[in-house]
């Protein structure tokens, strides 16, 4: 039988190549250090209300003592109701040997609850390099278990004085949960004022936070008096705007924080002056606009909002943890509604929804997103995951996640924690997932003999797992059918994408597979609107979304 090449009912939503520039999104994430912004007698709520009234969107804070944790909880209560972000809590380690890890565990849990990072300053002058190595690795592991990113804080006169030194530790330890921040004041003290663009170019894939301040070029390296490089933004002879422009041009969209250490002004005038200057700069700064699609991996239909969601790896076939992935939102006809509906993901893959939450597979995590607000609720860690792929959810809320290289499937409920639900070589590199009644359908990639190319010595099959007994059986007579990326069930047939051949297959229960769509390249995961038979799928190599009528497909 002849397969349809480009059927008349096929709607293509392609990714536009933007030559224009857009407003810099980090301008909407301008925050403040919680240094000295409390006036005598102000409650935590009054402090934050003052900052928000000026225009700030969030904060970073010291989290060194139990008292700091108490303050963090007060700020967290405010942030939940008033959309005032907590970007990070920073932990100075003046004596590694005496670090209280019970406190550290509590801190990480509190940061996890608000989606904040753990910011680490290594200022133990007596620690040997192996001590520092163990500390960073240990904290990165502990933080990763709770879905918290560990960010190295380069600081003058400490063991990591510049962002480039932080990058050296990242490369040395090669830990997937290790990042770095950028601070203009410390880069100036490190002698990098004239090469800020070069520094940002090097560290950008690992950059999570940035801080700025007014400064003078006549500085004293190592001085404890910070008045030379920490000033309000309208003071000093250093032009700060080029640093912001360099961040924008690199595509940075994370928080920018006003560095205010040592600045004391009871009437808060320096915050107001700095915010006004930042606003003027940000209006002039433009950043390259992202396309709607960039290596799209999965299409998912959400009935309640009548929306299609498309996950994008970002940066082509880039699976690194670079904070450059996103989810695009489209309407029921396939028109893009919001090109970057939710950003700040790494390399998002499969998706499914349950009770108003979109669960998105990512590098070692599942990111839970509130569909109504687009707010990231939590990152659920998948311990030991090697290559997170698809997500499927049962009627009673069990979330299943395939780990292709790990030959395992994770499971969790109610935002975690996750655990390995099934691990066996019989899963044959599981990729696509779909729940039907009380069984989990697994579309496998096939036996991978070359992980670098995903090359197999035999094609994948369709399998079924009983949700209660975990009994594994073959579907479609166990036939080797495709290097499956995704699978859905509609009426009496399976529809699966054959990634390496660029085909959509229709498969009956006897294992008869018919290509109903061919001529594409890298057809990735698919979704279906079961009410009207519209299949949404993505062509990864061409950066486009395809919407088609399954009833109109011709064998």
Do 228 and 368 lie in one domain? The reply is: no
Phi, psi of 333 (to 5 degrees): -95, 0
Do 249 and 305 lie in one domain? The reply is: no
Do 314 and 206 lie in one domain? The reply is: no
Confidence of residue 4 (pLDDT cuts 50, 70, 90): very low
Q: What is the mean pLDDT of the chain?
A: 91
Confidence of residue 267 (pLDDT cuts 50, 70, 90): low
* Residue 114 lies in domain: 31-283
- What distance, in Å, lies between the first and last C-alpha atoms of the chain? 6
**Alpha-carbon distance 367 to 379, whole Å?**
4
What integer pLDDT is reported at residue 19 of this predicted model? Answer: 34
pLDDT by residue (tens digit) across 305-330? 999 999 999 988 888 878 889 999 99
Query: Is it the case that residue 454 has pLDDT exceeding 70?
Result: yes
In this structure, is residue 194 part of a structural domain? yes
Do 250 and 297 lie in one domain? The reply is: no
Query: Is it the case that residue 519 has pLDDT exceeding 70?
Result: yes
Confidence of residue 358 (pLDDT cuts 50, 70, 90): very high
**Alpha-carbon distance 302 to 463, whole Å?**
25
Q: Is the pTM of this model over 0.85?
A: no
Confidence of residue 131 (pLDDT cuts 50, 70, 90): very high
- The tokens for 104 are 């550290």
Query: What CATH number is given to the structural domain containing 247?
Result: 3.20.20.150
Supply the angle between the helices 129-145 and 101-114 in degrees, to the nearest 10. Answer: 40
Question: Which carries the bigger pLDDT value, residue 7 or residue 94?
Answer: 94
CB 520 within 8 A of CB 537: no
Rounded average pLDDT over 416-436: 96
Do 213 and 307 lie in one domain? The reply is: no
Do 235 and 333 lie in one domain? The reply is: no
In this structure, is residue 49 part of a structural domain? yes
What integer pLDDT is reported at residue 17 of this predicted model? Answer: 40
Own/partner pairs for 332-337, CB < 8 Å, 24+ apart? 332/306, 332/307, 332/308, 332/529, 332/534, 333/11, 333/547, 334/11, 334/13, 334/308, 334/536, 334/545, 334/547, 335/13, 336/13, 336/292, 337/307
Q: Which of 60, 148, 74, 151 is nearest to 109 (CA)?
A: 148
Do 265 and 356 lie in one domain? The reply is: no
Confidence of residue 1 (pLDDT cuts 50, 70, 90): very low
List the beta bridge partners of residue 140: none
In this structure, is residue 19 part of a structural domain? no
In this structure, is residue 24 part of a structural domain? no
CB 484 within 8 A of CB 524: no
Do 263 and 327 lie in one domain? The reply is: no
Do 262 and 300 lie in one domain? The reply is: no
Query: Is it the case that residue 196 has pLDDT exceeding 90?
Result: yes
In this structure, is residue 2 part of a structural domain? no
Do 72 and 191 lie in one domain? The reply is: yes
In this structure, is residue 388 part of a structural domain? yes
Q: Which of 371, 367, 376, 329 is nearest to 348 (CA)?
A: 367
Question: Which carries the bigger pLDDT value, residue 8 or residue 333?
Answer: 333
CB 255 within 8 A of CB 85: yes
Rounded average pLDDT over 393-410: 97
Q: Is residue 250 exposed (0-12), middle (13-18) or buried (19+ Cβ within 10 Å)?
A: middle
Do 414 and 441 lie in one domain? The reply is: yes
Domain count, the chain: 2
Question: Which carries the bigger pLDDT value, residue 139 or residue 45?
Answer: 139
What integer pLDDT is reported at residue 47 of this predicted model? Answer: 87
Query: Is it the case that residue 22 has pLDDT exceeding 60?
Result: no
Residues 291-322, buried b or exposed e (16+ Cβ, 10 A)?
Answer: bbbbbbbbbbbbeebebbbbbbbbbeeebbbb
Pairing between β-strand 375-381 and β-strand 365-370 as defined by DSSP bridges: antiparallel
Rounded average pLDDT over 528-555: 91
What integer pLDDT is reported at residue 11 of this predicted model? Answer: 58
**Alpha-carbon distance 127 to 444, whole Å?**
49
CB 447 within 8 A of CB 428: yes
Do 325 and 362 lie in one domain? The reply is: yes
Which of 26-40, 238-252, 371-385 shows the lowest mean pLDDT across its residues? 26-40
Phi, psi of 440 (to 5 degrees): -100, 120
Confidence of residue 555 (pLDDT cuts 50, 70, 90): low
**Alpha-carbon distance 99 to 483, whole Å?**
49
Query: What CATH number is given to the structural domain containing 364?
Result: 2.120.10.30
Domain end: 233, 248, 283, which one? 283
What SS3 class is residue 250?
A: coil
**Alpha-carbon distance 333 to 339, whole Å?**
15
What integer pLDDT is reported at residue 7 of this predicted model? Answer: 42
What integer pLDDT is reported at residue 6 of this predicted model? Answer: 40
Q: Which of 327, 403, 329 is nearest to 365 (CA)?
A: 403
Domain end: 283, 307, 331, which one? 283
pLDDT by residue (tens digit) across 87-106? 999 999 999 999 999 999 99
What integer pLDDT is reported at residue 39 of this predicted model? Answer: 72
- Quote the Cα angle for 238-239-241, to 5°: 145
In this structure, is residue 474 part of a structural domain? yes
Confidence of residue 466 (pLDDT cuts 50, 70, 90): very high
Q: Which of 474, 476, 521, 470 is nearest to 495 (CA)?
A: 476
**Alpha-carbon distance 349 to 526, whole Å?**
11
Rounded average pLDDT over 334-345: 94
**Alpha-carbon distance 211 to 276, whole Å?**
16
pLDDT by residue (tens digit) across 134-170? 999 999 999 998 889 999 999 999 999 999 999 999 9
- The tokens for 512 are 């008869």
Q: Which of 53, 118, 121 is nearest to 82 (CA)?
A: 53
Which of 3-12, 62-71, 538-547 shows the lowest mean pLDDT across its residues? 3-12
Rounded average pLDDT over 443-470: 95
Domain end: 283, 306, 338, which one? 283
In this structure, is residue 433 part of a structural domain? yes
């Amino acid at each position: 039988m002849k397969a349809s090449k480009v059927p008349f009912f096929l709607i293509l939503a392609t990714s536009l190549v933007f030559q224009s520039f857009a407003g810099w999104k980090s301008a909407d994430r301008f925050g403040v250090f919680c240094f000295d912004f409390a006036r005598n007698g102000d409650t935590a709520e009054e402090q934050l209300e003052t900052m928000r009234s000026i225009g700030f969107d969030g904060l970073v804070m010291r989290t060194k003592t139990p008292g700091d944790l108490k303050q963090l909880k007060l700020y967290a209560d405010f942030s939940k109701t008033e959309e005032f972000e907590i970007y990070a809590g920073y932990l100075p380690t003046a004596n590694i040997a005496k670090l209280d890890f019970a406190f550290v565990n509590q801190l990480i849990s509190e940061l996890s609850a608000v989606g904040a990072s753990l910011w680490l300053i290594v200022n133990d002058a007596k620690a040997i390099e192996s001590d520092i190595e163990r500390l960073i690795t240990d904290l990165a592991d502990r933080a990763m278990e709770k879905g918290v990113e560990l960010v190295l804080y380069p600081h003058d006169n400490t063991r990591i004085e510049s962002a480039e030194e932080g990058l050296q530790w990242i490369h040395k330890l090669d830990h997937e949960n290790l990042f770095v921040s950028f601070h203009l004041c410390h880069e100036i003290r490190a002698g990098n004022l004239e090469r800020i663009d070069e520094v940002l170019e090097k560290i950008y894939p690992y950059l999570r936070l940035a801080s700025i301040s007014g400064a003078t070029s006549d500085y004293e390296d190592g001085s404890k008096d910070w008045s030379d490089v920490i000033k309000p933004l309208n003071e000093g002879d250093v032009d700060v705007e080029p640093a912001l422009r360099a961040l924008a041009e690199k595509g940075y969209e994370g928080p920018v924080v006003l560095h205010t250490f040592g600045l004391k002004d009871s009437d808060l005038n320096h915050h107001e002056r700095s915010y006004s200057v930042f606003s003027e700069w940000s209006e002039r700064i433009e950043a390259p606009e992202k396309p709607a699609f960039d290596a799209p991996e999965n299409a998912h239909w959400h009935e309640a909002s009548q929306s299609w969601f498309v996950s994008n790896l970002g940066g082509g076939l880039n699976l690194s943890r670079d904070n450059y992935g996103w989810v695009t939102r489209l309407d029921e006809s396939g028109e893009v509604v919001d090109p970057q509906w939710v950003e700040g993901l790494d390399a998002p893959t499969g998706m499914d929804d349950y009770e108003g939450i979109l669960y998105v597979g990512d590098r070692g995590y599942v990111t839970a997103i509130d569909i109504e607000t687009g707010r990231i609720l939590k990152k659920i860690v998948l311990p030991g995951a090697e290559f997170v792929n698809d997500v499927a959810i049962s009627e009673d809320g069990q979330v299943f996640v395939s780990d292709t290289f790990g030959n395992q499937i994770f499971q969790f409920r109610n935002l975690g924690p996750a655990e390995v639900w099934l691990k066996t070589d019989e899963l044959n590199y599981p990729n696509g997932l779909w729940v039907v009644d009380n069984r989990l359908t697994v579309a496998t990639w096939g036996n991978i003999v070359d992980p670098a190319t995903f090359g197999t010595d035999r094609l994948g099959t369709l399998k079924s797992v009983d949700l209660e007994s975990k009994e594994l059986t073959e579907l479609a007579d166990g036939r080797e059918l495709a290097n499956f990326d995704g699978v859905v069930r509609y009426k009496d047939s399976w529809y699966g994408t054959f990634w390496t051949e660029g085909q959509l297959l229709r498969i009956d229960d006897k294992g008869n597979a018919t290509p109903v769509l061919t001529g594409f390249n890298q057809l990735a995961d698919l979704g279906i609107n079961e009410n009207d038979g519209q299949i949404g799928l993505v062509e990864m190599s061409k950066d486009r979304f395809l919407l088609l009528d399954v009833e109109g497909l011709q064998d």
